[in-house]
Structure 1
Amino acid sequence: MKAWVHHQTGGPDVLRLEERPRPKPGRGEVLVRNRAVGLNPVDWKFIEWGHAAWEWPHIPGVDGAGEIAEAGEGVTHVGLGARVAYHNDLARPGSFAEYTVVPARAVIALPGALPFAAAAAIPCPALTAFQAVSKPPLAAGAHVLVTGASGAVGGALLQLARKRGWIVHAVCSAAQFERVIRLGAATVTDYHRPDWRSDIQDMARLQPLQAVFDMVSGEHASSLAHLLSANGHLVCIQDRQEKAPLPAFTTTISLHEVGLNAMHGYADDGQWGRLVAAGAAIAADIVRKSFDPQVMDGVAFDALPEALARLKAGPNPGNRVALF
């Protein structure tokens, strides 16, 4: 099979298109014939960082979509030819290849009408957003703040939050205001303005915020903790809180971290079942045109490194995919 591999860490330019042996699925695994590959920041980051579990040369990539080409022992819930998307364990050989072995419990069933380009944009962005909105137990009508709202995860989160009936106050660049409002934001604030935090604080005095979803960093999330009302929720999608950002026994907020890939090491079958069911529901919503997969860049598989370099350079108001 053809695969993009790297023999050392570095930027996207270390990737080389090579012939590699077609892998075989083991017990509880399936072999997916990839038709589209989703590109995510975690891909270029780990190409730069490496991973202790990798064997070299390594095939990177966590997201893909295609058809089941072979099923390993014990796999009964998906058949050959089934159309699926997946988020693979980054410690394993990945999706930047014609074929990828994936844990069977991690595959998302796809409707026949869904293009593979849209399907490949679901796993990492949309499932991360699903994990994030599942953290705080908020009722319809809750007011929440989303930073980094114009990115792939932010755009998915806006749509999922809107579906829950939350009122979303988004922070993004002014160039993305129209798009972010279309995806579900009630208000938008330009983070380029020096006093944007003061604007949010003034708003929060009049309308308390029950949750903050931060896409920037742990430090950035900590700087927004004071905006939350009593018993509010601070959800970190990039990084985590290493220490409580506010004094004890004040607003008594809850701290949440989100780590989709950690599911491979720590989630049980029931948790995986709920996660892939959420992915299948999002896939169905895309077909119904009630969820935007935000595909902004589709390239041929042979041009994958260039698309990954564009992803690294940014900005990325949506998802980038590579197609076979």
Structure 2
Amino acid sequence: MKALQFDKTGDLSSLRFVEVPTPVPGADEVLVQIKAAGLNPSDVKNVLGRFPYTTLPRIPGRDFAGVVVEGPQALIGQEVWGTGRELGFFADGSHAQFVKLPAKGVAHKPSHLSFTQAASLGVPYTTAWDARERSLGSAQTRLLVIGGGAVATAALALAKVRGAQLL
């Protein structure tokens, strides 16, 4: 399969477009054909060497959306999406044609989302959700979002869902 891979850190020029063997899923794992993958700041920082625990060589990428092509029969052919704490750091990630994951590491992709939309939600929305939950705010809480990236957009969307008034 084709994949982006790096075998040393320190510079984005370490990324190479390579041909590697397609992963083979084990018991309780799935093989997902990637239709779209997110690109997060942590993916870039990983290649730059900001996460010294990353094992090399490594295919980066945490967020994905795709179709299960191998695994438990009930999941084959299902459109799925997900994000991974270990993807791209300790296990090869989603910047490839296929990714191998625990079967419990995927969720059915909402049908109203495209693959691209679903792949863009993982890290930004989980980061915004975590911050929102830790803040213990209520619907009456005023929210100040500084910046305009994906996490800021997610924070505003989640605040609106929770009943916050957006000015």
Q: TM-score range by the shorter chain?
A: 0.7 to 0.9
Asked which structure has the greater CA Rg, the reply is 1
- Equivalent in the alignment of 2:8: 8
Confirm or deny that 1:91 pairs with 2:90: yes
Identity of aligned residues (%): 37
In the alignment, is the contact (CA less than 8 A) between 1:24 and 1:101 conserved in 2?
Answer: yes
CA offset at residue 155 of structure 1?
0.6
* Residues in 2 aligned to 1:51 and 1:68: alpha-carbon distance in whole angstroms: 31
Q: What amino acid sits opposite 1:121 in the alignment?
A: S
In the alignment, is the contact (CA less than 8 A) between 2:80 and 2:108 conserved in 1?
Answer: yes
In the alignment, is the contact (CA less than 8 A) between 1:23 and 1:101 conserved in 2?
Answer: yes
State the secondary structure of the residue aligned to 1:3. Answer: strand
CA offset at residue 59 of structure 1?
0.8
Higher share in strand: 1
RMSD: 1.8
In the alignment, is the contact (CA less than 8 A) between 2:2 and 2:17 conserved in 1?
Answer: yes
Under a length normalisation based on structure 1, what TM-score does the superposition of the two structures give?
A: 0.47
- Equivalent in the alignment of 1:127: 126
* Residues in 1 aligned to 2:40 and 2:54: alpha-carbon distance in whole angstroms: 20
CA offset at residue 58 of structure 1?
1.4
Confirm or deny that 1:23 pairs with 2:19: no
Q: Which has the higher contact order (CA 8 A, sep 6+)?
A: 2
1:69-105 Cα distance to aligned partner (Å, 9 max, x none): 111xxx57x5101111111223211111100112222
* Residues in 1 aligned to 2:63 and 2:138: alpha-carbon distance in whole angstroms: 32
State the secondary structure of the residue aligned to 2:143. Answer: strand
CA offset at residue 12 of structure 1?
2.3
1:224-266 Cα distance to aligned partner (Å, 9 max, x none): xxxxxxxxxxxxxxxxxxxxxxxxxxxxxxxxxxxxxxxxxxx
- Equivalent in the alignment of 2:102: 103
Q: Give structure 1 regions of 4+ aligned residues with deviation exceeding 6 angstroms.
A: none
In the alignment, is the contact (CA less than 8 A) between 1:34 and 1:65 conserved in 2?
Answer: yes
- Equivalent in the alignment of 2:161: 163
- Equivalent in the alignment of 1:221: none
In the comparison of the two structures, how many residue pairs are matched? 163
State the secondary structure of the residue aligned to 1:102. Answer: strand
CA offset at residue 39 of structure 1?
0.4
Higher share in helix: 1
CA offset at residue 115 of structure 1?
1.4
Under a length normalisation based on structure 2, what TM-score does the superposition of the two structures give?
A: 0.88
Q: What amino acid sits opposite 2:14 in the alignment?
A: V
5 Å-filtered alignment, 1:40-55, equals 40-49=40-49, 51-54=52-55
CA offset at residue 57 of structure 1?
2.2
In the alignment, is the contact (CA less than 8 A) between 1:51 and 1:91 conserved in 2?
Answer: no
State the secondary structure of the residue aligned to 1:43. Answer: helix
State the secondary structure of the residue aligned to 1:101. Answer: strand
* Residues in 1 aligned to 2:111 and 2:101: alpha-carbon distance in whole angstroms: 21
* 1:23–1:109 CA distance, 2 compared to 1 (3 A): same
In the alignment, is the contact (CA less than 8 A) between 2:46 and 2:54 conserved in 1?
Answer: no
Confirm or deny that 1:153 pairs with 2:147: no
CA offset at residue 53 of structure 1?
4.8
CA offset at residue 126 of structure 1?
1.3
In the alignment, is the contact (CA less than 8 A) between 1:11 and 1:44 conserved in 2?
Answer: no
* Residues in 1 aligned to 2:118 and 2:32: alpha-carbon distance in whole angstroms: 14
